[in-house]
Structure 1
Amino acid sequence: MTLGALEQIQDETLTILSGLLVRGQHVALVDFPNHENSGDALIFLGQMRYLDKLGVHVDYIADGSRYNPEHLRALVPNGPILIQGGGNFGDRWEYMQALRERVISDFPDRDIIQLPQGIDFQDGTRLEQAQQVLGAHPSLTLLIRDHAGVERTRELFPTANVIFCPDMAFGYGEVSAGEAPLDAVVLRRNDSESLESTERFEMHPMERYVDLDWGLTGFRKALDKVMHVPGAVTKRIPALAVALYPIQRRAYMAIAENNVRQAVSILNRGRLVVTNRLHATVLAALMGKPVVAMDNANGKISAIIGDYLGRMPGVRYAPSIKEAEAAVDSYFN
């Protein structure tokens, strides 16, 4: 039987992970995305589903504010340490990179696996520091989610084990989509990764659409605040962190699911999705929605579409705003 695009991506990922992890193994996972970025939450949940399929036990999860090496050792005395995948391996998002380097420095005696990332370093002191820290670790694996990034990572970090691996958001699997009340959802990022100038989309073929970005609102915003209570307690009283870990773990899972459900509800509003966010493109594809995707500042969307995301039905890449407008025109006309 011929596998579909999603099954191919998932099988390739599971094959790569099974070469690094052993069924029944106990691991730690650091850098939980404790913020309102639904794409990072989708990656986290995809990772957890892959690890569950492999029979790997995740016995410690922590975000950057609650990461504590002693707590990690108490809950996972042996075994690999995994670092959350995403798009923050580099000098653009310094807080996440600093956490990555801290974990690598804290555990020179453990296997460390960086789950699939995109690399985004400029030459300079920040890169030199990363090369020094990562180069000193004797057992570091860097999973990189696009082929061009693999080559650059091997050049910059020659002592690491660098392996191509698809973005792990695909591990979340297919998502049911409801009836869309609008023509389209335009979901665009407005941070340092945005490539957009002052030029804006002109959506003249569509009468009904919304233009927005990720973020929690209403009931889901209130629910998120409640789910952060265990983390606030353990941050204020670190001595309780190990004892309260089961509650904190459930809170992390609920926070991530809440973010993804918000994203699904946003994309469900349109028959077509137009976006410059990678994981809005991935989620739309998982929902079976047609999506027009434009690039971001570091080229990660075009790279991943070219490598494997473009195999998903309904995914169309537009190199410019004008070509995105033309793609929208062709969809509605």
Structure 2
Amino acid sequence: MAKTYSMDSLKEKLGELLDAIPKGSSVVYLDYPLYGNVGDLLIMKGTEAFFQNYGIKVCERWNAENFNPGRKIAKDVIIVCQGGGNFGDLYPHFQQFRERVIKHYPENRIVILPQSIYYENEEHIKISKQILESHPDLYLFTRELASFQFANEHFQKVKHIRMMPDMAHQLWPIEPTENPVAPVLRLIRTDKEANSNLQKETEQDTYDWNVILSDRDKRGIKRLQTLNMLNKKAGNLLPVASYWKRYSDYLVTKSIGFFSRYESVVTSRLHGHILSCLLQKENVVIDNSYGKNANYYNTWMKDIPYTKLIQHQTEKEPAVQR
């Protein structure tokens, strides 16, 4: 019989990460997002909440741009890599960063937090397989059933492959910060994962994460990205991670306020769906280009009472009442 999940039990499920990152551990947290994708920021905030809730000490925080593989890390420190949906060759920069880390630190435990996996090229799978299977103490947490099955099929010698919900569930519950003043928010992705067969991108009052953020917000992000690169050249003397924590708190709080102003949500962004559920808002999730949203929904979210999935062209996006 298939297991059913609630928002409470999904947060509780994340406690099983303690098998890989025990309470009181010291960790280096790698690949935190220094950009304006609010979904990835929610993952980061959930990860930081997990560390705090379970007394895990974060010795250092590095993003993919300012960390130098080869930097000395004590053998008893666990390297923890950000979760998300960029494992594979769709976003090669982040995958190549993870693989460099795995190659450089064979004596450290490495934990890859829950990821969705997607490859377009068989040769890239072989490269990843060789690197992942060479590490003696690697934990790969996959974010839904399809990725879990893929990892077990292709990375057979990785001893620890588990399935776990997205780290943003650690933020449950989130209280709305404003009262609803509009019926439906349409948050529709406009990038390479957009599903043109299912979603309507050109409807009036359609948003994506980059639309929710103002030009001033984007300039703030750009300034911190520039500071991050200059800081690397100077030997990483400034606490950029601390600066970014405060600014990303503001960006996430702003996004929560934006969602709070709507009674319900229609979205093709996975974290538009997850944030709606964290806020206990009725929502419809439209599948993305390669099935990530549907795989996640069917693995964890299908029993959440106020959600619906659109996966096929025969299923219509609900009309937006204005």
The answer to whether the superposition gives a TM-score over 0.5 is yes
Equivalent-residue separation in structure 1 for 2:281 and 2:121 (angstroms): 39
Greater percentage in helix: 1
Matched, 1:287 2:289: no
Q: CA deviation at 1:225?
A: 4.6
Equivalent-residue separation in structure 2 for 1:103 and 1:125 (angstroms): 20
- CA distances 1:119-173 after superposition (whole Å, capped 9, x unpaired): 1013422111111111211111100011222111011101111011111111122
Q: Equivalent pairs: percent with the same residue?
A: 25
CA gap 1:228/1:152 in 2 versus in 1, 3 angstroms = closer
Matched, 1:220 2:221: no
Q: Partner of 2:250 in structure 1?
A: 258
Q: Partner of 2:263 in structure 1?
A: 271
Q: CA deviation at 1:219?
A: 4.5
Q: Partner of 1:168 in structure 2?
A: 167
TM-score by structure 2 length?
A: 0.89
Contact 1:44 1:256 in 2 (8 A): no
CA gap 1:11/1:184 in 2 versus in 1, 3 angstroms = same
Q: Partner of 1:206 in structure 2?
A: none
Matched, 1:5 2:2: no
Q: Give the counterpart of 1:311 among 281, 303, 307.
A: 303
CA gap 1:198/1:9 in 2 versus in 1, 3 angstroms = closer
Matched, 1:236 2:272: no
Q: CA deviation at 1:281?
A: 0.2
- SS of 1:87 mapped into structure 2: strand
TM-score by structure 1 length?
A: 0.86
RMSD: 2.5
Q: Partner of 1:81 in structure 2?
A: 79
Kindly provide the amino acid, as one letter, of the partner of residue 267 in structure 1.
F
- Gapped runs of 5+ residues in structure 2? none
Equivalent-residue separation in structure 1 for 2:38 and 2:67 (angstroms): 21
- Gapped runs of 5+ residues in structure 1? 204-208
Kindly provide the amino acid, as one letter, of the partner of residue 144 in structure 2.
D
Q: How does 1:47-62 map to 2 (within 5 A)?
A: 47-62=47-62
Q: List, as ranges, runs of 4+ consecutive aligned residues in structure 1 with deviation greater than 6 Å.
A: none
Matched, 1:108 2:106: yes
Contact 2:141 2:163 in 1 (8 A): yes
Contact 2:266 2:284 in 1 (8 A): yes
Tell me the matched-pair count.
315
Q: Partner of 1:121 in structure 2?
A: 119
Contact 2:183 2:263 in 1 (8 A): yes
- CA distances 1:280-303 after superposition (whole Å, capped 9, x unpaired): 000011111111111011211111
Q: Give the counterpart of 2:153 among 120, 133, 155.
A: 155
Q: CA deviation at 1:78?
A: 2.9
Q: Give the counterpart of 2:129 among 115, 128, 131.
A: 131
